[in-house]
Structure formats: C-alpha cells, structure tokens
Amino acid sequence: MTAGGTASIGRDFTVGEFRARAASRGWHADADDFGDHHLNPGITEELRTRPFRDAAVLIPVIDHSAAPTVLLTKRSAALRTHSGQIAFPGGRIDPGDGNAETAALRECEEETGIGAEHVEIVGRLPDYMAGSGFRIYPILSVLKPGFELRPNPHEVDAVFEVPLSFLMDEANHAQGSRIVAGHMRHYFEMPYGDWYIWGVTAGIIRLMYERLYSGE
C-alpha cells in the first residue's frame, strides 16, 4: 500500500507501457469532450455553449527505473485564483505559443525550472472543459532523469511526485462535493499523504485513467 491509499495490483506500470498507451489510446478526432460536467450533468449545456479560454497542462511521468511517478505542483498561496491547490504545470495558451504543446512546455519551465530538453511529448488527452471557463489541453509526456527543480516562488509553493500506479488505480478515486456559487458541485478527489488532489486536476487524472488504463 502506498501513502494515502492503495496501489494497483497485478499490472506492470512502466514508462514503456505508458508511452504505448498514450500513442494508441490518447486523443483522436472523434473523442467525446470531457470535463466538470461529467459529475455535474446539470451544467453540460452551459459548458458546451459558452466561450472558453484555452489553456494547456503538462502531465509529466518521470522515468524512474523502479516505478514511474507523476510530477505535480502546489500553487502558491499568494495567487489570486486556485491558490494553494494541487495542479499540473500549465496555464493559458499565449498567442505566441503556436500550439498547446509549446504552451505546456513553456509553463512547465516557468513554474518548475524544468526545460524542454528533459521532456518527451508522447501524446494528448481529449480536451477538458472546466467550470471556471477554460478549455484545457492535457499534454502527455515523459520526463527524463537528470533535471534540476527550480520552482518559481511567485507561482509554486511545492513540487512533488505521486506514483503512477497510485493515480491509475480506480480504488483511489473518491468523489467529494461542495457549494460553489450557490450550487452543489461534485468532483473527484485523490488524497495522497499530505497532498489533497481534487477538482480539475483530479478530473484530468480521472480522464487519463479512463482513457489509458480503464477496462482491464
């Protein structure tokens, strides 16, 4: 058992397997949209018709020989939005980025100090529509060892790792709820040790599970 929950049993989690799954099961043109409305069907029409701002996140799977992990950040408590929450490196797609992959790599370096030379893009998940008004492009990647962490103190309070086997085990996917703007909202939550992963980040992890590892 890993800290905070159970680990997947009977499955060989390797970076090679992750690469293969990302290539064969990731995004494709007729993919259904995904987002906060999956647990909140009452907002489905609103999300599908409203204008969205584009953002990208990098999902970095670290190529540890023993067992791969996923890199996550804790957003600075001083930020105006989503302060103190667990997140993937990422942010808005700027006009000069050109595509979501470039934006995700740029944001990762700005937030963590990890440069693109350490990152191998291996695929993309379907877009994630967030109730906050962002259409998020989740970029799947492998992070090569040898990088140096230099977290930006203005954006990131902490950088940490969670075993891929933990996050891809459905037994560790709980559901929570709270009142948001006068309405009950439901979301995924995946506590791991001292880290409380929830909301959009947990939703993207759930999307990754459903897309790459579910059904076996």
Confidence (pLDDT) at 30: 55
Q: What is the pTM of this model?
A: 0.89
Q: What are the residue ranges spanned by the domains of the chain?
A: 15-164+198-211
For residue range 155-210, list pLDDT tens digits in order: 999 999 999 999 999 999 999 998 877 778 889 999 999 999 999 999 999 999 99
Is residue 199 within 8 Å of residue 85, measured between CB atoms? yes
Confidence (pLDDT) at 58: 98
Is residue 206 within 8 Å of residue 188, measured between CB atoms? yes
The CATH code of domain 15-164+198-211 reads 3.90.79.10
pLDDT in tens, the chain (216 residues): 344 444 444 467 899 999 999 999 877 655 566 888 888 887 777 767 778 899 999 999 999 988 999 999 998 866 656 656 899 999 999 999 999 999 999 999 999 999 999 999 999 999 998 888 889 999 999 999 889 999 999 999 999 999 999 999 999 999 999 887 777 888 999 999 999 999 999 999 999 999 999 875
Distance between CA atoms of 100 and 78, rounded to whole angstroms?
A: 26
Classify 71 in phi/psi space as left (phi over 0), alpha (psi -120 to 50) or beta.
beta
> CB neighbours of 60 closer than 8 A, spacing ≥ 6?
70, 71, 88, 89, 108, 114, 119, 141, 142, 143
Is residue 22 within 8 Å of residue 188, measured between CB atoms? no
Confidence (pLDDT) at 1: 36
Burial of 67 (0-12, 13-18, 19+ CB in 10 A): middle
